[in-house]
């Protein structure tokens, strides 16, 4: 927030909180796509699995570089998402001094719905905002 100009904008894209909350743990990876490695020319197989608890979902993407000799080199990356409601995100943005300027459900600017693949929010820095979490008004200097 402090790095933005007074009318500066900030954007965030996260998986749809409703979709994350509906996920059950995935016992095994499923191949999603295969692409050609730009340096070796060998195929790279991409798969994904996830683990869900009561409070979060951990998503893991596996990139298997399939080598000509039959060996596989695997790179795995993961991300943890807390199971936070859309309303809680809205309250957190407000408490941090941001006003929501737009909300989208995908990168084509479709309106956000509970069935959207993403929650994409553009926010504007505000110099006066109300913190609903603590019930009082906080004034930010310009």
pLDDT value at residue 42: 98
pLDDT digits (tens, 9 = 90+) for 67-113: 999 999 999 999 999 999 999 999 999 888 888 999 999 999 999 99
Q: Is 4 or 74 the better-scoring residue by pLDDT?
A: 74
Answer yes or no: is pLDDT of 32 > 90.
yes
Asked whether 111 and 119 are in contact (CB, 8 A), the reply is no
Place of tokens 């994904």: 48
**What is the reported pTM?**
0.71
Assess whether pLDDT exceeds 60 at residue 129.
no
Structure tokens at 15: 């998986």
User: For the chain, what are the domain ranges?
Assistant: 9-139
């Amino acid at each position: 927030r402090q790095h933005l100009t007074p009318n500066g904008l900030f954007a965030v894209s996260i998986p749809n909180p409703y979709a994350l909350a509906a996920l059950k743990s995935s016992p095994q990876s499923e191949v999603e796509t295969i692409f050609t490695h730009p340096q070796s020319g060998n195929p790279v197989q991409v798969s994904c699995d996830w683990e869900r608890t009561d409070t979060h979902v951990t998503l893991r993407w596996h990139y298997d570089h399939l080598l000509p000799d039959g060996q596989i080199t695997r790179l795995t990356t993961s991300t943890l998402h807390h199971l936070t409601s859309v309303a809680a995100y809205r309250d957190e943005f407000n408490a941090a001094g941001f006003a929501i300027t737009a909300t989208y459900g995908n990168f084509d600017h479709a309106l956000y719905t509970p069935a959207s693949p993403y929650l994409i929010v553009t926010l504007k820095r505000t110099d006066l905002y109300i913190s609903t979490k603590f019930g009082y008004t906080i004034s930010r200097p310009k």
